[in-house]
Amino acid sequence: KEQSERKRGPAIPAGVEKTTFLKALDELSGQLGKENVEINDQPLKDGWYMEHPNTHDAMHVLDEEELVASAVVYPGSTEEVQKIVLWANKYKIPIFPISIGRNLGYGGAAPRVRGSVVIDLGRRMNKILDINPVDHTCLVEPGVTFYALYEEIQRRGYKHLWIDCPDLGGGSVLGNTLDRGIGYTVYGDHWACHSGLEVVLPTGELIRTGMGAMANSSSWQIFPYGYGPMADGLFSQSNYGIVTKLGMTLMRNPGGHESYLYTFPNEEDLAPLVDIIRPLRIGNILENVAQLRHVVQAIAYSGKPRSSYFQGEGQMTDEQVREIARKELKYGDFTWLYYGMSYGPKEIRQYKLDIIHKEFLKIPGARRIDPATLPKTDYFWSRDRIATGIPDLEELQWVNWYPNGGHIAFSPVSPVRGPDATELWRMARSRAAEFGHDIFPAFCVGLREMHLIVECVFNRDDPDSRKMALACMRAMIDEAASKGYGEYRTHLVLMDQIAKTYNFNDHALMKFNERIKDTLDPNGILAPGKSGVWPARYRGRGWEM
């Protein structure tokens, strides 16, 4: 949709007089330049992936005016980030950092507290500070996207360096890594692959983690631990600091690669297949973050809406979905798809591929799809690019399944075991069926654990559809938690609920997090409520959702 008129008027931070707020913004303009401070008083535009807003969530699951910025500011340097932080403390104005703000499915660019000032770091702080072709590392500012890093490596002719990217390449390397996002080469666990942060603390001090704490270290990007307590974890999925630089390790071009796709016919194949995957993945025969997807998502990749296949109400049955897949796709009859990639020279790949083939074919009816039979437009080739670190955008297609598609995800972590996979999949599907909704489940196998990413697409312009999606997610989270499964990452709106499920010893971890928050951020200005961590000034005052 084009844009929405503002029903509620501009959002002003709670507890701050409008005149004081406007005066404070003037003061900040004096420090950053008028052009780098924008009040958010215009109609809200959701835009699209490449022209996403930085004022709210482009895929809002609440009314779009609910989690909305009062203003957006654009620092051009670490020093300017420090100035913004000091300014926020002076006026007790909540601030919320984004790098690019394409955290779609998890809140986009929206702040957790309505009326926060969004710090859009990506617009001006977007330099690739270093690409080290010897150590295979890089150092980036917040605004460096996966596309930008990939293109710069190509421009410099470093054929031996690969990056790792998530399904969509337009996000920032830094923001995705802080949110513990995943990609699909051997370096898919982005947080595990980072090395070194530069951070502005909520009171304005500047620190560097790892070897970077030594003023003259030459090892910042190659040894993440440094010396003493390792602080990095405090700045991931947190509200303890604003990260202004991130070190990242880069993969070496493995000297060859080969994508493969297997299909499995029946829903019940899931459990034995997951038990086959586990030792292969831990043994590194399956080398990349493995993707096991359901047939319904394969249909949705076409980008056509559900209504072009099915006009009925309620969740489509497996049989209906398989029937469509038989007609529309070139993969025959199937329920599950496994996308993988083998790396290295031909003889090394062949050794691994033979084992995988033998193991996967233990499932009756399993088939390897010959890539030569697939047109270049087939989704298989998108997975092929992503698993070689080439950024892509094809994954956006399934967001068209329902009109005005937004999406939100339920992402529990579990052991890589058949019974767990079946339990989670059946639970997610039956919960979604109660709400009459299709869901897109994909198992991403890290190494010893897997995330089941259940994508739920909804109509952003239909309050009932949004309400349904949220209620469905909440029901899944509670049921999963009652069975011992917790989420790895979540949308802003679900953060409180999920934080509560991490409840060992009377929520001892949250009490610890709150103590750190109150120590580092005594005025509670930085991203209050992020990951369910509320500062003292907000705690227990009705902000939780």
- Catalytically annotated residues: 106, 488-489
Nearest approach, Cβ of 340 to ligand FAD (angstroms)? 15
Q: Is 102 in the site for ligand FAD (CB under 6 A)?
A: yes
Nearest approach, Cβ of 538 to ligand FAD (angstroms)? 17
What's the half-sphere exposure (Cβ side, CA atoms, 13 Å) at 252?
7
Nearest approach, Cβ of 85 to ligand FAD (angstroms)? 11
Which of 172, 209, 263, 388 is in the footprint of ligand FAD by CB under 6 A? 172
- Ranked by CB distance to ligand FAD, the top (closest) residue is 171
Supply the DSSP string of 351-377, one letter for each residue.
Answer: HHHHHHHHHHTTSTT-EEE-GGGS-TT
Give, rounded to a whole angstrom, the gap between the first and last alpha carbons of the chain.
27
Q: Is 115 in the site for ligand FAD (CB under 6 A)?
A: no
334 Cβ neighbours under 8 A, 6+ residues apart: 263, 264, 265, 295, 322, 325, 367
**Tokens 């709400």 label which residue?**
435
How many Cβ atoms from other residues are within 10 Å of residue 217's Cβ? 16
Q: Is 139 in the site for ligand FAD (CB under 6 A)?
A: no
Q: Is 405 in the site for ligand FAD (CB under 6 A)?
A: no
Nearest approach, Cβ of 241 to ligand FAD (angstroms)? 7
Q: Is 232 in the site for ligand FAD (CB under 6 A)?
A: no
Q: Choose between 172 and 209: whose C-beta lies nearer to ligand FAD.
A: 172
Q: Choose between 276 and 450: whose C-beta lies nearer to ligand FAD.
A: 450
CA distance to 51, 210, 231, 233, 244, per residue, from 228 (Å): 43, 9, 9, 13, 22
Span near ligand FAD by CB under 6 A; candidates 93-101, 222-230, 420-428, 466-474: 93-101
Q: Which of residues 237-256 bind ligand FAD (CB under 6 A)?
A: 242-243
Q: Is 104 in the site for ligand FAD (CB under 6 A)?
A: yes
Q: Choose between 48 and 351: whose C-beta lies nearer to ligand FAD.
A: 48
Gap between the Cα atoms of 67 and 59, Å rounded = 11
Q: Is 529 in the site for ligand FAD (CB under 6 A)?
A: no
Nearest approach, Cβ of 174 to ligand FAD (angstroms)? 6
> Taken in order 154, 160, 164, 168, is the CA torsion positive or negative?
positive
> Where is 262: in which H helix or E strand?
strand 257-264
**Tokens 């909704």 label which residue?**
437
Which DSSP state fits 316? P
Nearest approach, Cβ of 121 to ligand FAD (angstroms)? 5
Gap between the Cα atoms of 153 and 163, Å rounded = 9
Q: Residues 65, 54, 392, 104: what is their CA dihedral angle, to the nearest 10 degrees?
A: -30
Q: For ligand FAD, what does the binding mask look like between residues 365 and 404, x meaning CB under 6 A?
A: ------------------------------xx--x-----
Which of 75, 115, 171, 226 is in the footprint of ligand FAD by CB under 6 A? 171
Gap between the Cα atoms of 331 and 184, Å rounded = 22
Which of 13, 75, 97, 391 is in the footprint of ligand FAD by CB under 6 A? 97
Q: Choose between 334 and 440: whose C-beta lies nearer to ligand FAD.
A: 440
Q: Phi, psi at residue 44, to the nearest 5°?
A: -85, 135
Q: Is 341 in the site for ligand FAD (CB under 6 A)?
A: no
Span near ligand FAD by CB under 6 A; candidates 12-20, 170-178, 464-472, 501-509: 170-178
472 Cβ neighbours under 8 A, 6+ residues apart: 431, 432, 434, 435, 437, 456
Nearest approach, Cβ of 339 to ligand FAD (angstroms)? 12
Span near ligand FAD by CB under 6 A; candidates 165-173, 203-211, 219-227, 311-319: 165-173
Q: Is 208 in the site for ligand FAD (CB under 6 A)?
A: no
Q: Choose between 52 and 322: whose C-beta lies nearer to ligand FAD.
A: 52
Nearest approach, Cβ of 98 to ligand FAD (angstroms)? 4
Span near ligand FAD by CB under 6 A; candidates 69-77, 166-174, 369-377, 425-433: 166-174
With b for 16 or more beta-carbon neighbours within 10 A and e for fewer, the 112-135 pattern comes to bbbbbbbbbbbbbbbebeebbeee
Nearest approach, Cβ of 270 to ligand FAD (angstroms)? 21
Q: Largest Cα–Cα distance in the chain?
A: 71
What SS3 state is found at 138? Answer: strand
Give me 496's structure tokens.
């409180």
274 Cβ neighbours under 8 A, 6+ residues apart: 292, 416, 417, 418, 420, 421, 443, 450
Give me 125's structure tokens.
């702080």
Q: Choose between 423 and 496: whose C-beta lies nearer to ligand FAD.
A: 496
Q: Choose between 147 and 360: whose C-beta lies nearer to ligand FAD.
A: 147
Which of 167, 384, 420, 496 is in the footprint of ligand FAD by CB under 6 A? 167
Q: For ligand FAD, what does the binding mask look like between residues 174 and 203, x meaning CB under 6 A?
A: xxx-xx-xx---------------------
How many Cβ atoms from other residues are within 10 Å of residue 371's Cβ? 14
∠ CA 271-165-284, nearest 5°, is: 45
Q: Is 302 in the site for ligand FAD (CB under 6 A)?
A: no
Nearest approach, Cβ of 351 to ligand FAD (angstroms)? 29
Q: Is 149 in the site for ligand FAD (CB under 6 A)?
A: no
Q: Is 61 in the site for ligand FAD (CB under 6 A)?
A: no
Q: Phi, psi at residue 395, to the nearest 5°?
A: -60, -20
Size of the site for ligand FAD (CB under 6 A): 28
Gap between the Cα atoms of 416 and 419, Å rounded = 9
Q: Is 69 in the site for ligand FAD (CB under 6 A)?
A: no
Interface positions with ligand FAD (CB under 6 A): 97-105, 121, 142, 166-168, 171-172, 174-176, 178-179, 181-182, 242-243, 395-396, 399
